[in-house]
Amino acid sequence: MRVARKYLRTNYFHVMVQGINKSYIFEKAIDAKVYIRNMYKTKKKMGVKVLAYCIMSNHAHMLLRVENLHQLSEYMHDINTKYAMYYNKRYSRVGYVFRDRFKAEGIYKKDQLSKCIQYIYNNPVKAGICENPWEYKFSSYKYIHDNSEAEYDFIDVEPKEKIDFEKELNKFLKENKCTFFELKNDKENLHKFVQLLKNDCSMSLREISEKLGLGRETIRKIFNKKQVT
């Protein structure tokens, strides 16, 4: 990563990473948790401060305080390398996981710092994933009301047992008194079911698409309720 000389005047950076070809590299809950776990394990080792973060499906934002540019580069190299190794092994793939090593913007003023934090936490709101930033699971928003750095609960970081899709489907159909055909043509109920599979059952949008027999882009729009018309 090439960094402008002006960045030498600050210790605060808004850092962004993105999946190669904008791929969904944090699609499952466990993926986001593994990346966050790497962030916190490495920051303790290197002395980096994580002031805010938000992990989206195909990219992530972090607000970091570092001692110098070398420390920033080493930190990002470490967490991205570890995640790429995890991701390639878990999904039986090879090659790059991230589009670039990372991008970084220097923060120089308090109001700029405040706007950066707001921007990071509002990412899922802008994407239509939730109505309010505190509802999103994979950001540090819930920690901002105390003065400590955000920590993370990794109790369920290991993959859950395989979900019985048919059982979940039949239960949902029974509770909502509809058939599978009716469900696929009811945007409201379909949105609820996709949310259930994605958030509670940790299924990826790709897996949901295959199980429901609907296109992945269709499922993505259904999951993102604000885009459904």
Residue (of 12, 17, 78, 73) closest to 45 by Cα position:
78
Does the pLDDT of residue 146 top 50, yes or no? no
Helix (H, G, I), strand (E, B) or coil at 19: strand
Does the pLDDT of residue 152 top 50, yes or no? no
Is pTM, for the whole model, over 0.85? Answer: no
Question: What is the residue extent of each domain of the chain?
Answer: 5-143, 165-227
Name the architecture of domain 5-143: 2-Layer Sandwich (3.30)
Residue (of 51, 56, 50, 21) closest to 38 by Cα position:
50
Mean pLDDT score, 148-163: 42
- Helix (H), strand (E) at residue 60: strand 59-65
- pLDDT for the residue 92: 87
Q: What is the pLDDT of residues 179-213, one digit of tens each?
A: 999 998 888 999 989 888 877 776 777 788 888 98
Number of neighbours of residue 209 by Cβ within 10 angstroms: 19
Residue with tokens 């700029």: 112
Q: What is the pLDDT of residues 163-176, one digit of tens each?
A: 678 888 999 999 99
- pLDDT for the residue 155: 29
φ, ψ (nearest 5 deg) of residue 193? -70, -40
φ, ψ (nearest 5 deg) of residue 37? -60, -45
More confident residue, 151 or 52: 52
More confident residue, 88 or 164: 88
